[in-house]
Structure 1
Amino acid sequence: MTEETEQRGKAVPALVRAKKILDALSAGGKPKGVSELARMLDLPKSTVHGLCHTLVDLGLMMRVGPNQFAVGPHVLSWANAFEGQSDLTQEFMRIADANDLISKQAINLSILTGREVMYVACRRGTDPLGVSFRPGVRLPAPFTATGKAMMSTMPRAEVEALFADGWPEPWTRRSVPDLKTLLRELDETRERGYSIDDGQLRDAMVCFGAAVFGASDDRAIAGIAIGLLSGEVNEASTSLVSHAVQSLAQKLSHRLGGNRH
């Protein structure tokens, strides 16, 4: 191994810590202080303090109160660049906009980042679901339809490893309570061909999700979900929406070179 190759394989500690700080600020949607970030990330307070001020200077974070920080506006330029350059998001919007079966419901696209899903695109609907699917929003993967759809394509051991350090705090009384229950739901997802978030993220919302595959076909590269208000859920709407989300995921997979569906 050459020195250049060896160096290329090493992570830069300061960059890793900065990413952890930005991830922590993105989770939960609330500003956080240096002390809280230091506790969450098990880092020295002085290290977090220095990185926070550097990230503020770079526009990646901003001060929102006394010793409180939030994600900064410069991050939006990266999100816009990703959306503009990604075949995934471009093809998703083309397919979602052309769909004439589902008009009132929001259709969203997300990717898996560790134990969370991050939303990268959304075709907005007219029904108010009470949850924002803006690009960049992160939510616990076990409670989301897209998260379960994507994790259902992963080996069991990898799913278990994601939650080896603990389980996310529940969002509702119906949120998946533990890993054992999640693994059972992933088995059901594989058998059905689509996933269900039945009020696990928001009491009045039910989402149906399906996995999107790329050319490698070994596991999902993204997930699509369609949300309904719980009062709209019945046998007919479940059949319509579950079919629609699988059809959309299949079309997007084919556009990206995947043939697993």
Structure 2
Amino acid sequence: MEATASRHVPPRRSSVEPPALVPALSRALTLLDRLAEGRQPMTLARLASELSLPKSSVHGLCNTLVSFGYLRRQDDGAFMIGPRVMCLAEAFVHGTSVAQEFSALWKDARTAPEETVLLSVLNGAEVVYVAARNGLRPLGLAFNVGMRLPAHLAATGRAMLAWHDEAFVRRLFPGPTLVRMAGKGPKTVAELMKELTLTRRRGHSIDDENVREGVYCIGAPVFDATGQPVAGIGVCIHKAMLGSDHGERQRRVVVEAARLLSRRLGGELPLPESAPAARRRTRS
């Protein structure tokens, strides 16, 4: 029987090839990222050490970035982020829609969350629900896009209010008492301020039957590239369905979604118990 000669078959390439990167551009962007993370000027020697690059290479990168305005050289020779980056940031913010990015977030995930996730924005002293991602479990609650609720009662509203300063909150709620919907929730602005402090410490807000009897909601803030809380993400479930973990699973879903959406907008979610001063700049 004649033996069949074996042919060499080259390995099949993956259908998804890694993108080709330009080394010099990659090093320049890494340098900018390092300066942005450090938030302080850095010398040429320190940049070379932290990037594990020769001083001559870093010197050339810095000179190029300085000439284009993306870096600025101090009198002592240290480098810091230059004003030209603001043009990029402004262009990014101008072309970004929180509702569109929310929809894209779940499109990229390719899987539906277990619970329905809601997105709202502040409109005066109210929240307006602008988007929802239906979950595997039916919500069983009438939360519709366009619906409004008092911001001091809704979990997503408190999540946003907590990272504004007290003056901003008091302008929204000038009266001595606050409206209540289900007989629970803060009755005065002083009580609301205490609840917002607790929200910052936890890193998320809780609506325990403040809006509707038997309904438990968890909310987390969404930040944009300017550090502003521009939206709130929340999950609402029947209180009887909290389970033995008291809503910990839902909390993780909400916080992670808020973190990912913030990053899509160029922002970052603050850590629990972090000082909110840097985040509490209000819009004029």
Q: TM-score range by the shorter chain?
A: 0.5 to 0.7
Say if 2:120 and 2:127, in contact at 8 Å, map to a contact too.
Answer: yes
3-state SS of 1:143 partner: coil
Aligned with residue 196 of structure 2, among 186, 196, 209: 186
Partner AA of 1:221 in structure 2: V
Between Structure 1 and Structure 2, how many residues are aligned? Answer: 174
Could you say if the C-alpha distance between residues 246 and 221 of structure 1 is closer, same or farther in structure 2, counting changes exceeding 3 Å?
same
User: Could you tell me how far apart the structure 2 residues matched to 1:121 and 1:165 are?
Assistant: 31
RMSD: 2.0
Q: Superposed, which structure 2 residues align to 1:115-134 within 5 Å? A: 115-125=125-135, 126-132=137-143, 134=144
User: Could you tell me how far apart the structure 1 residues matched to 2:190 and 2:122 are?
Assistant: 20
Q: Superposed, which structure 2 residues align to 1:61-100 within 5 Å? A: 87-96=97-106, 98=109, 100=111
Partner AA of 1:214 in structure 2: D
User: Could you tell me how far apart the structure 1 residues matched to 2:185 and 2:223 are?
Assistant: 26
TM normalised by structure 1 equals 0.62
Could you say if the C-alpha distance between residues 179 and 165 of structure 1 is closer, same or farther in structure 2, counting changes exceeding 3 Å?
closer
User: Could you tell me how far apart the structure 1 residues matched to 2:244 and 2:199 are?
Assistant: 18
3-state SS of 1:210 partner: strand
Could you say if the C-alpha distance between residues 164 and 99 of structure 1 is closer, same or farther in structure 2, counting changes exceeding 3 Å?
farther
Q: Which has the larger radius of gyration?
A: 2
Partner AA of 2:238 in structure 1: L
Say if 1:111 and 1:118, in contact at 8 Å, map to a contact too.
Answer: yes
Per-residue deviation at 1:95? 2.3
Runs of at least 5 residues in structure 2 that lack an aligned partner in the other structure? 1-94, 271-284
User: Could you tell me how far apart the structure 1 residues matched to 2:152 and 2:251 are?
Assistant: 19
More helix by share: 1
Say if 1:210 and 1:224, in contact at 8 Å, map to a contact too.
Answer: yes
Per-residue deviation at 1:245? 0.7
Per-residue deviation at 1:100? 4.9
Per-residue deviation at 1:96? 3.6
Mapped pair 1:232 → 2:241 = yes
TM normalised by structure 2 equals 0.57
User: Could you tell me how far apart the structure 2 residues matched to 1:214 and 1:249 are?
Assistant: 11
3-state SS of 1:142 partner: coil
Could you say if the C-alpha distance between residues 238 and 93 of structure 1 is closer, same or farther in structure 2, counting changes exceeding 3 Å?
same
3-state SS of 2:157 partner: helix
Per-residue deviation at 1:130? 2.8
**Which residue of 2 is the match for residue 250 of structure 1?**
259
Q: Superposed, which structure 2 residues align to 1:1-261 within 5 Å? A: 87-96=97-106, 98=109, 100=111, 102-103=113-114, 105-125=115-135, 126-132=137-143, 134-165=144-175, 167-217=177-227, 219-261=228-270
Partner AA of 1:259 in structure 2: E
User: Could you tell me how far apart the structure 1 residues matched to 2:164 and 2:119 are?
Assistant: 18
CA deviation digits over 1:33-87, x for unaligned, max 9? xxxxxxxxxxxxxxxxxxxxxxxxxxxxxxxxxxxxxxxxxxxxxxxxxxxx963
Partner AA of 2:233 in structure 1: I
Per-residue deviation at 1:99? 7.2
3-state SS of 1:236 partner: coil
User: Could you tell me how far apart the structure 2 residues matched to 1:87 and 1:247 are?
Assistant: 19
Partner AA of 1:123 in structure 2: R
3-state SS of 1:118 partner: strand
